[in-house]
């Protein structure tokens, strides 16, 4: 896995697209190589299935690539502690494409949080106008 290339691409994308100058990236090159972006977006090496369709049929091959997982905290219950889930997002054979997928997932998450906050604000305003 070309961790140096992934780190370089991620730093540039987060800076130019999201305005983040000091992106938190952790690189693990031990037994299980991983690039962890912002403590949440995990890129790991994977074997990716590639299908090529032609007039002679479908050719299937397996090549080295990357998988993207998102680490998401799950609140525990009365008898359970908090936990963390790893959610599979996708895979690709290109370092550029896997970082793009991470950036798109990051943007979706930012939008989700923003819309939730907007709806909570509207709900609170509605509660203030309603007199019991």
The CA-based angle 65-66-68, given to 5 degrees, is 160
pLDDT of residue 29: 83
pLDDT of residue 83: 84
pLDDT higher than threshold 80 for residue 131: no
The 3-class SS string of the chain reads CCHHHHHHHHHHHHHHHHCCCCCCEEEECCCCCEEEECCCEEEEEEEEEEEEEECCEEEEEEEEEEEEEEEEEECCCCCCCCEEEEEEEEEECCHHHHHHHHHHHHHHHHHHHHHHHHHHHHHHHHHHHCCC
pLDDT of residue 30: 81
Please list, in sequence order, all residues whose beta carbon lies within 8 angstroms of the beta carbon of residue 95, skipping any fewer than 6 positions away.
Answer: 2, 5, 6, 9, 66
Domain range summary for the chain, segments of one domain joined by +: 40-129
Give me the chain's average pLDDT, please: 91
Query: Which tens digits make up the pLDDT trace of 90-105?
Result: 999 999 999 999 999 9
| pLDDT top residue among 83 and 98 | 98
pLDDT of residue 74: 79
Query: Which tens digits make up the pLDDT trace of 25-36?
Result: 999 988 889 999
Alpha-carbon span 9 to 27, nearest angstrom: 14
pLDDT of residue 132: 60
Query: Sheet harboring 57-74: ordered strands across?
Result: 25-28, 34-37, 41-54, 57-74, 83-92
């Amino acid at each position: 896995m070309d961790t140096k290339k992934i780190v370089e691409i991620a730093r540039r994308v987060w800076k130019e697209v999201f305005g983040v100058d000091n992106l938190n990236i952790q690189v693990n090159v031990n037994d299980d190589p991983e690039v962890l972006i912002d403590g949440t977006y995990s890129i790991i090496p994977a074997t990716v299935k590639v299908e090529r369709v032609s007039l002679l049929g479908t050719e299937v091959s397996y090549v080295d690539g990357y998988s993207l997982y998102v680490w998401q905290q799950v609140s525990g219950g009365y008898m359970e502690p908090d936990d963390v889930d790893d959610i599979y997002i996708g895979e690709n054979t290109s370092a550029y494409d896997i970082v793009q997928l991470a950036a798109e997932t990051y943007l979706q998450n930012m939008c989700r949080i923003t819309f939730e906050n907007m709806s909570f604000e509207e709900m609170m305003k509605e509660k203030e106008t309603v007199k019991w």
